[in-house]
Amino acid sequence: MFNIIEKFLSIDGEGPTAGELATFIRFQGCNLRCSWCDTTYSFEKEGIKEVLSAKEIYKYIKKNNAINVTLTGGEPLIQEGIDELLGLLDKDENLKVHIETNGSVDIEPFKKKYKNIVYILDYKLPSSKMTNKMNKNNLKIVENKDVYKFVLGNMEDLKVAYGIIKEYDLDKRCLVYFSPVFGEVKLEDVIEFMKEKNLNRVRFQIQLHKIVWNKDTRGV
């Protein structure tokens, strides 16, 4: 059984399916405490809205008739019994399943078992205060359908992200996104940096859901 903070149908606010309809499943519990986290309400059990089985989650996803599915949190990959749910979703060729994972969990065992799932990984930069928790193996095994997202809390983060991208040739091996913390970084400065460094394969993104709705609105 899974502790669910919220589940809803909306548009995907970021990533490769930004702007498309998606079903979101937000799990309770995270093993990190990033300084700029915008979903701290998913940390504690007090925020649990319902407890669902893998089959109940799958049934809800299918009822929404949305092709895209985003498992988020919290941290989905630390959920007890997550393999049962991933097995159901991976077998359904009518779904495009994305797992938003914080970069601390080794995704290799999951990639070996589930071939149709896309991993959207964070690499936590210095402003998050969680850089030392990152699993470096993930940087080596991502594929072209996977995503690495660098959340930028300041311009120093941007420089570190650039170093990681170049060290691991990330922009040649997977999709790479720069995602500024809402209201903390001048967006034009990020774009100027991309121009200066000739980052043709890196994508700049802002979170659409924080523009459409109030930035603190949940379940959208």
Encode pLDDT of 18-74 as tens digits: 999 999 999 999 999 999 998 889 998 888 899 999 999 999 999 999 999 999 999
pLDDT tens across 152-170, in order? 999 999 999 999 999 999 9
| Residue 170 burial class via C-beta count within 10 angstroms: exposed 0-12, middle 13-18, buried 19 and up | buried
- What average pLDDT does the structure give for the chain? 93
Q: Which residues contact 115 (CB under 8 A, 6 or more apart)?
A: 90
State which fold the 2-212 domain adopts: TIM Barrel (3.20.20)
Break the chain into its structural domains and give their ranges: 2-212
pLDDT in tens, 70-105: 999 999 999 999 999 999 999 999 999 999 999 999
Burial class (CB in 10 A: 0-12, 13-18, 19+), 84: middle
Q: What is the band of 14 on the pLDDT scale with cuts at 50, 70, 90?
A: confident
pLDDT tens digits, one per residue of 59-74? 999 999 999 999 999 9
